[in-house]
Structure 1
Amino acid sequence: MAQAAASTCEICTGGPGEYYCQQCDQLFCGSCKLSHLRMKISKNHTFLSGPNINKEEKLLCIEHDEIFFFFCNDCDTPVCRICSVEKHSRHLMTDLTKSTEKLRSELVKTIESKITTSSQTVSKIERETKTYREEVKAVIKTITDDGKYLKNLIDKKVDSFVKLVQDEEHRVLQKMSTITKFYKGVFENCQQWQKNITEMETIADVLLLQKLKKLKVDVDNIDLKQVPERSSVSYINKKPSGTEIDSLFGELQFKEGQAVMEKTENQQNTRPKESQKMYTYACMFCRNEQISATEPSTSSNRYVFKL
């Protein structure tokens, strides 16, 4: 295929054919282009320029072998002058070049908006992740300090509480990491789309419109959902004077979005006097409580057990 950089002007046959007239299907040098645009009959002709102009890529109306000038909004297709009169006379039509430029402008704005939103969201998640991890560290330190205070009596409970916090931290961080990766992916995709749109500037309008429409589908398919409220964790400690291990611990609470996973307000010590030790635990989701003589497993993140 002949490239513009290796062709000569088809008017004067002396200068380099650096400019391609889409209406005349000819290559022009700079001087002939200016003369062409001064003529009344061709003053509105449009040109393509650049090292990769390929005349063979220009698409014509199959039926009339005419250049596409308009875009029929009713039929969602480019049309030539003859088609606009014969088949689309009562349809809503716009200038092909203007339609292409309008779509390109809308896409650029949409992508820029999503890049800004994605960037801001990633920054927010990273800040909140840092804050959450600091809270986790503070809670673990408090729990560990309580363990030292009750050294010989509560080693086992300290380990179970720390593990519960760390398991929840692991779950929450995994969730935050997934959201972060998603928005980073959106950010990278949008950057690539920006680059692609810039590289499309030398493509003929009819091809550019088709490519932009396809790109618009991909861009519109990105759904930037609202990020859930930041999860948090806290530990309310106390310094009891009793000797029973189960009564010496504070309340461990996890907050995720609007759902707070914690002990119920009407918590009571359910251990019968002078009888077998009993445990009360509640499901985080349905909040139904159960009583059992077997201590609930601390490896499960479904239950909040009451001491």
Structure 2
Amino acid sequence: MSSKRSSVLAVNFSAATTSSPSDGNLGTCNEPSPSEFEELLQCMICFESFNDPKILNCAHTFCAKCLDDYHATYATQKRAVSGNIPCPTCRELTPWPENGVEGLRRDFKIYQIEELLKNMSVLSQSNSGQSLNVCNYCNALDKKVQAKNYCFNCEKSYCTPCMGKHSKNQLFNNHKVISLPTKNSSDFPCKYHPNEIIKYFCKSCDTVACTLCLLDQHNNHNAIEIKQMINEQLSDINFLMAGVNEKKDELMKELEILEPITKNCSKSIDEAEKLIRSRSETIIREVKNKEIVMLKTLDNIKNSKLKHLEKEIDRIKFNLNKLKGIESMMKNSTMTPSKSLRTYDLLIQRMRTILDVDSQLDVNNLSQNSIFVKFKPGSEEFNFGNLDEKRFSNTAQQSQLNQTPASYPELRSRSKTQPNLELNDPKYLKPCLKRSISKDENRAKLNFEILVHGSKSGELNKPLWVASLLEYKFVVSDGGNKRLQIFDQLGKSVNVILAKSLEPLGIAVTMKNNIITADTDQKRIQVFSPDGKSISKWGLGKFFNPCGVAVCPNGSIIVSDVGDNSVSVYKNENTCVFRLGISAQPELQFKEPFYVASGQNNEIIVSDSKNHCVKIFDSGGQFVAKIGSEGSKDGEFKSPRGVCTSVEGYIIVADQENNRVTMLTREGSFVKHLLTSADGIKSPQGVCLTRKKKLAVTEFDPPKYSTLKVFDVTI
């Protein structure tokens, strides 16, 4: 039995053996409840009470059948070290006996603890004045008689007369009976010698004992009086409590420092948001006013210049028609001496009338009215404005941050570099007259983005995973809101999937277009249809903290578990084909494998976050390659997160702390950065790529930066 169990057992036993205030601060010690002991009596494989408990060399105990099945799984996978079995809890190797699980030592201490718990439960109820102080037989006859004995087989309390009847019945000859202590008694009878009181604790066997036990099965063992052991343990507890209180004071001090900084940062963000909205309204209003002025000017041009030109055209056409009429008259008339005298004067008069008309255009007037109107868009685009960050400058609080306890260097380092955004000052929202536009045709183009942090439909909170459905929809693991949310290709929320106690992390889409998610709250896998209908739930008891999921082309399901830093491949809901990350070789181990993906040939691709690399295994679980190391150069990573593949076989990785999304060949060679901070990428988390080359990226930067962005990219 572990030292943790023995210490807890001794502290709990103190309440059953002592009740006097004279025992120091013993009476103020919080006693573990029986339910806490029962947790120690559960197999960590099946999470049920032990059935034939077997103990390994590392002192961890499991059910015999659970260990046998566990070893059989390893033998089938041919991944276990020859002749050994790794502990499911700590991975320490234990030689596997030739006769199988029966050859492992039986953990008799489990039986002793169970029996002791039963005794303690009975006596605890008796001392608390509960139903055990009443004879059950008499109570059935509506008589209240104090019980003097308790039978463990019958699980009944008896008074002295009823106990006499019990003893005379031959069927009850082998029943185990103890005498109940009187109320407020601190004596605790030995289960092997009911007439003896437990006074000692055997350190060799890690159990309590009476005087006769010390002379019998615990003879010459290392034993001390229970009160002495309790005093020793209380001394240790009090010493640790002093450290706990000191640590508590340190944390409270850090909290006092960080809370006002966070408050000021949040206030500056809110004020900056107001200024941004005001700036937007002002620009829109100015653009509308400019539109009205320009259209009015254009209308004036139309009314003045264009109408004058049209009037000149009408005048010229009128005179031209007169000339054509005279020409026609001359062609059709027959000149005789009598007619010529009559028509001569008329023709001459008409011709002179027309010739006297001024047919020349006014050149000056024409130059003023003959214009060509063209709208020329401005060559310089007006930028909305910039957000500038200003570092924290309060010297008093900066001095406090420097006094952060040395035991928290990481926190102190973060505090020194935490910027204090003073965006409420208008000078940090200055307009820019010129904006450089990249001429790179391969640059990613933003389709849409969801920027609102919140809990309403269309808003996000901690969106760590994203996957693509058919019809080019995107499903997002909206972890902070404990739901799945589906967006169409225009960024509109079209469905929200909620389920009882659902806390989704990793998500993937099956061949049937169903959504599979890792439910970290229930420690299992759940499957939903796109309309939110629950299809199946499985894996309960198989995971510590399931995180990432992926679906292989052959239908297998990959599940990463950050609880024990492993990755499992399931053929179906009940069959685990093999498990990665439990090898003794460091290069085959993981540290926080949050995200997983599958290649075209059913390869397993693992984003090994804290090892700052990506690891690839073939479809049989054999190690293929390790890609990258910690750094910011091309091909290097800092806490890589989401990973996916393209139809061409490229591997796409969200490089969180480098604020970029990187593309690699299937062999691991660096190709290019698909997205960087220049594209507005900040702390990328999940990634997925559709067949139409739309790259979806989720971003999360606590406390309130939660986004979904979809880009058109060139692969």
Q: Identify whether the pair has TM-score above 0.5, normalized to the shorter chain.
A: no
More strand by share: 2
More helix by share: 1
Q: TM-score, normalised by structure 2?
A: 0.18
Q: TM-score, normalised by structure 1?
A: 0.37
